[in-house]
């Protein structure tokens, strides 16, 4: 059994090889970003393990909205196509699985999975701040 075994719920959407490549690339990108933000303990190995746990714990769903993530979109985004397609192209990737920090990015690796759209909307807000923002939106336009 592989150390980062593809969760069963993803077996119809992505291969083991593609999953491991995605996992490695996400860990490297998040370590690089967090080190720039001052995290002195971030390692590729710790981040890879934390991201894998987040994937396993997600059951394939966005932790904030409950929507099913579209794992077939992993590693398919193309910058050139995005430039040409603009918003329309980007919307096609709304349910792309995205790794979101829980807690302090300067602390130990701790992640959840959500959609790219949700992560983009949440940005750098804490979960509580994001929920508060969502409540304000609902109170204003959800009438």
Q: At CB < 8 A and 24+ separation, what contacts does 20-25 make?
A: 21/75, 22/74, 22/75, 23/48, 23/51, 23/52, 23/55, 24/48, 25/75
Write down the pTM of the prediction.
Answer: 0.91
What does the pLDDT read at residue 31?
95
Q: Which of 31, 53, 35 is nearest to 44 (CA)?
A: 31
Tokens standing for 64?
Answer: 């904030």
Mean pLDDT of 119-139: 93
Query: What's the full length of the chain, in residues?
Result: 143
Neighbour-count burial of 65, counting CB atoms closer than 10 A to its CB (0-12 exposed, 13-18 middle, 19+ buried):
middle
Residue-averaged pLDDT of the chain: 93
At residue 48, the pLDDT reads 96
- Torsion-angle region of 59 (φ positive above 0: left; ψ -120 to 50: alpha; else: beta): left
Contact 100, 122 (CB under 8 A): yes
């Amino acid at each position: 059994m592989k150390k980062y075994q593809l969760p069963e719920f993803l077996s119809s959407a992505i291969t083991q090889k593609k999953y491991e490549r995605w996992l490695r690339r996400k860990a490297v990108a998040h370590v690089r970003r967090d080190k720039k933000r001052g995290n002195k303990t971030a390692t590729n190995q710790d981040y890879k393990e934390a991201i894998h746990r987040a994937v396993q714990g997600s059951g394939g769903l966005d932790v904030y909205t409950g929507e099913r993530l579209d794992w077939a979109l992993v590693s398919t985004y193309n910058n050139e196509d995005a430039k040409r397609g603009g918003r329309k192209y980007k919307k096609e990737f709304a349910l792309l699985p995205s790794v979101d920090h829980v807690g302090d990015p300067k602390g130990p690796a701790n992640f959840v999975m959500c959609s790219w759209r949700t992560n983009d909307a949440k940005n750098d807000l804490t979960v509580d701040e994001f929920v508060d923002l969502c409540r304000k939106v609902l109170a204003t336009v959800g009438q």
